[in-house]
Amino acid sequence: MLSIVFPHLPTDRISRGLWGTSWLSAGRPEHPPIVLAGREGNAMRIAALDRVAEGAGLRPGLGIAEARAMLPKLDVMPADPAADRSFLAGIADWCDRYTPLVGIDGSDGLFLDITGCAHLHGGEKALMADLLARLFHLGLEARATIAATPGLAWALARFGAAPAHIVDAGAEEEMLVPLPLASLRLPADMRDGLARLGLVSVHDILTMPRAPLVRRFGPLPLLRLDQALGREDEPISPRRPVALLAAERRLASPVVAQDDILAITLSLATSLRPGLEARGQGGRTFELQLFRIDSRVFRLAVGASAPLADPARIAGLFRERLAALHDDIDAGFGFEMLQLRVLSAESATPRQTDLATAGAEDRPLTGFIDQVTARLGPESLEVMLRQESHVPERAASFLPATEAPSPDAPIRQKTPLAARAVAAIGAVRPLRLFARPEPVEATAEVPEGPPMSFRWRRALYRVRHAEGPERIASEWWIDGEDWPVRDYFRVEDVEGRRFWLFREGFFSDITMPRWFLHGLFA
Q: What is the pLDDT of residue 424?
A: 47
List beta partners, residue 491.
Answer: 466, 499
- Residue 94 and residue 4 in contact, taking contact as beta carbons nearer than 8 Å: no
The pLDDT, as a whole number, for residue 411 is: 46
- Strands 281-292 and 297-308, by their bridges, are antiparallel
CA distance 202 to 227: 13
SS3 335: strand
Residue-wise pLDDT tens digits, 295-312:
899 999 998 888 889 999
Task: Encode pLDDT of 206-259 as tens digits.
Answer: 888 889 899 999 999 999 999 999 999 888 888 888 899 999 999 999 999 999
Q: What's the first-to-final CA gap in the chain, in angstroms?
A: 65
Closest Cα partner for 12 from 25, 24, 2? 24
Task: Specify the 3-state DSSP secondary structure of 496.
Answer: coil
What is the residue-wise DSSP string for 219-286? SHHHHHHHHHHTSS------SSPPPSEEEEEEEEEEE-SHHHHHHHHHHHHHHHHHHHHHHTEEEEEE
Helix axis angle, 188-196 relative to 210-217, nearest 10°?
A: 130
pLDDT at 169 (0 to 100): 87
Per-residue pLDDT of the chain (522 residues; tens, 9 = 90+): 899 988 888 877 777 766 665 555 555 667 778 888 888 888 899 888 888 888 888 888 889 999 898 888 888 888 888 988 999 999 999 999 999 899 999 888 999 999 888 888 899 999 999 999 999 888 888 999 999 999 999 999 999 888 899 998 888 899 999 999 999 999 989 999 999 988 899 998 988 888 989 999 999 999 999 999 999 988 888 888 889 999 999 999 999 999 999 999 999 999 999 999 999 999 999 999 999 998 899 999 998 888 889 999 999 999 999 988 888 888 889 999 999 999 999 887 666 555 554 444 445 777 788 888 888 877 778 777 777 787 888 777 777 877 776 555 544 445 555 555 555 445 678 888 888 899 999 998 877 889 999 999 999 999 999 998 888 887 878 877 777 889 999 999 999 999 999 998 877 656 788 999 999 997
Helix (H, G, I), strand (E, B) or coil at 148: coil
Query: At residue 301, what is the residue type?
Result: A
Beta bridge partners of 102: 112
DSSP letters spanning 35-72 = EEEEEETTEEEEEEE-HHHHHTT--TT-BHHHHHHH-T
Q: Quote the pLDDT of residue 360.
A: 46
Q: What is the pLDDT of residue 401?
A: 78
Which residue, 124, 94, 89, 127, is CA-closest to 108?
Answer: 89
pLDDT of residue 427: 63
Residue 475, pLDDT score = 82
